[in-house]
Structure 1
């Protein structure tokens, strides 16, 4: 099986999409596939982890780089670049199948080809990452913003509907994607969970739980956006910091990985700001340290297609404070009782879920035991073989079309 995988970025780039891309690529390679990753975050070609990584970064002075700056039509720049690179390589040595994420539709212009079947593995649709009126960061949307978002959504629908096969991370996510893109259900499809990198699993096994009980060290990994529940997170911190020790809340500190200082609102109360450490984007080694130092992980997302942060936290045996609004949180955190679920993505609800965990070291350790028991559910072997099975069904369907 010769596979092309399209990625916006690839490790060492510190993003969830890059981590997922590496796990998909290396799991396929370990299962016997010949994998080439095409990525926009670099130039040049190399061999990494048994995978060929072809960088196709847009030259700054080139036409496609300029096109990216043009509002809604700019969303075509990346699909054009991917199409050109993949078809050139395909002409030299044919691929059996190409896979891409749905997010901003990098393979929109490769959809519908019988000679190169496309499989779309769905992350969260772009429409769900643009926030809602519940976020403090939201603004009244301009006509241009709506047009820009609508163009991205249309490209995602085009890619999904032109795919020969579809992959979702969970059954609940599969249903969301079907509704979002108006899919018929006639294409080969599979639900396949993502694995974690071996180095994360190794470091997690060696990570002892923090010996000191105070201050309580909390960790958030993500972006300052409504979908991640960041507005609720800040509101909960303000509530708990305001209560302080007189209200029975011990000292705590929250590391914000992926959140730079400028993403904190100017009107954040001083007591809450004193509890926060915005760290911006950090490398893999620093992230390992952040998990190891944490007593608990806060992940109050309103929606996740899968939730790699949940899986990482469980691997480290850290209690997860999540939100019951997210089906993945209910499945991966709530079902094994690996941490408390806030009833809603609001400051008061999140504060209510977190307060007992802050106060009670024994409760934190009880959740830790259950988190460790729930870890390791998804493996590279399972990911690779299940993906190859879906590829074969997609190829057969495309050839029989």
Structure 2
């Protein structure tokens, strides 16, 4: 099977979407698929671990680059660039299927084509990561992004979500009918993660204990509430009632830190910005606790990585993925709500008890290894085959 995979970025670019794209692409290649990734973060063509990568970056001074500067309509620039690149390759040697993320709808202009079925794999929709306080321009942008995501979903021959709960919420958001195939397939962890995680030991109790947060400083991630909790617990650390600690923020630059941080909290926080995988692995190895109090995760890659490394997780019970991967396995503690007070209660318990951290680590290690590339690749091919067959037999597709 010949597959086109559209990705906003691809490793070594350090993001959750790029990591997912690599796992999907390489799992398919290992199953014998001919895989081409069209990546928006680079130019040129290259090969990596059996996967062909075609760069689709937009030059700022080009017509599409100028189009991107306009509110609303600017969201069409990247889908246009991806469409042209995919169709050019498709004309030379046809693809059987194209896959893309739903996030900001990079395949919106390929949706519904009669000659090329589209499969959309659902990450977190743009609207679920958006600050509610938007300027008029950003409201136009948000409206356009949401419309394009819905267009792509409705023009897809099949969809994939990482958990059943995520699939239900996506179907409600995009108003999808039940006849459209919608599979549940979990992502795998990279071989590099599994190698490092398998060799990682747990650091001894020390001063300071290390807490790791991986992600962006956004409301969905519970970042502001985590910072509120750090302020509360930092005062207790100063008083000696809980262990001293430091917080490593991977993916968060200094400019995104709240101005309301107390001096006690601020001197314990290290905002590291975006970093390559090598630093991510080092930070997991050094961490005593992984703090991930998200309100919602489409899958929860951080949960899975922390579990693989055997690190106790502080998560939020609001997130269905956290309830599944952290709560059901016992690999961490679930805050009763995504609030500073509730997060602080869990963090306090984890900082004051070496025994608790050891128990959570053992449960995390027991839960490790749930998802493999072999499973990801086989299940994805099954969806592709269903999409190709259904695409021929239904009236969903419209000639473009």
- TM-score if structure 2 supplies the norm length? 0.97
Who is 1:153 aligned against? Answer: 146
1:256/1:278 contact within 8 Å kept: yes
Who is 2:373 aligned against? Answer: 380
Partners in 2 of 1:262 and 1:395 — Cα distance?
Answer: 47
Q: Which residue among 248, 256, 269 is the counterpart of 2:249?
A: 256
Who is 1:54 aligned against? Answer: 54
Q: Which residue among 159, 176, 188 is the counterpart of 2:181?
A: 188
Residue segments in structure 2 that go unaligned for 5+ positions in a row: 395-400
Partners in 2 of 1:141 and 1:383 — Cα distance?
Answer: 38
Shift of 1:275: 1.2
What are the superposed Cα offsets for residues 159-190 of structure 1, whole Å, 9 maximum, x if unpaired? 00000000000000001100110000211221
Shift of 1:244: 2.2
Who is 1:131 aligned against? Answer: 131
Question: What is the number of residues matched between the two proteins?
Answer: 394
What are the superposed Cα offsets for residues 98-142 of structure 1, whole Å, 9 maximum, x if unpaired? 00000000000000012100000000000001034xxxxxxx422
Q: Which residue among 267, 276, 281 is the counterpart of 1:274?
A: 267
Residue segments in structure 1 that go unaligned for 5+ positions in a row: 133-139
Partners in 2 of 1:303 and 1:131 — Cα distance?
Answer: 14
- After the TM superposition, list the runs of 4 or more consecutive aligned residues in structure 1 that deviate by more than 3 angstroms: none
Please list, as runs of the form range in 1=range in 2, the aligned pairs for 1:12-23 lying within 5 A after superposition: 12-23=12-23
Partners in 1 of 2:239 and 2:62 — Cα distance?
Answer: 61
Shift of 1:83: 0.4
Please list, as runs of the form range in 1=range in 2, the aligned pairs for 1:278-289 lying within 5 A after superposition: 278-289=271-282
Partners in 2 of 1:376 and 1:53 — Cα distance?
Answer: 28
1:325/1:344 contact within 8 Å kept: yes
Who is 1:162 aligned against? Answer: 155
3-state DSSP of counterpart to 1:43:
coil
Partners in 1 of 2:60 and 2:140 — Cα distance?
Answer: 25
Please list, as runs of the form range in 1=range in 2, the aligned pairs for 1:73-92 lying within 5 A after superposition: 73-92=73-92
Who is 1:394 aligned against? Answer: 387
3-state DSSP of counterpart to 1:244:
helix
2:212/2:290 contact within 8 Å kept: yes
Q: Which residue among 237, 247, 250 is the counterpart of 1:244?
A: 237
Q: Tell me, yes or no, if structure 1 residue 43 matches structure 2 residue 43.
A: yes
3-state DSSP of counterpart to 1:36:
strand
Partners in 2 of 1:141 and 1:106 — Cα distance?
Answer: 23
1:195/1:379 contact within 8 Å kept: yes
What are the superposed Cα offsets for residues 321-351 of structure 1, whole Å, 9 maximum, x if unpaired? 0000000000000001110000000000000
Q: Which residue among 169, 172, 178 is the counterpart of 1:179?
A: 172
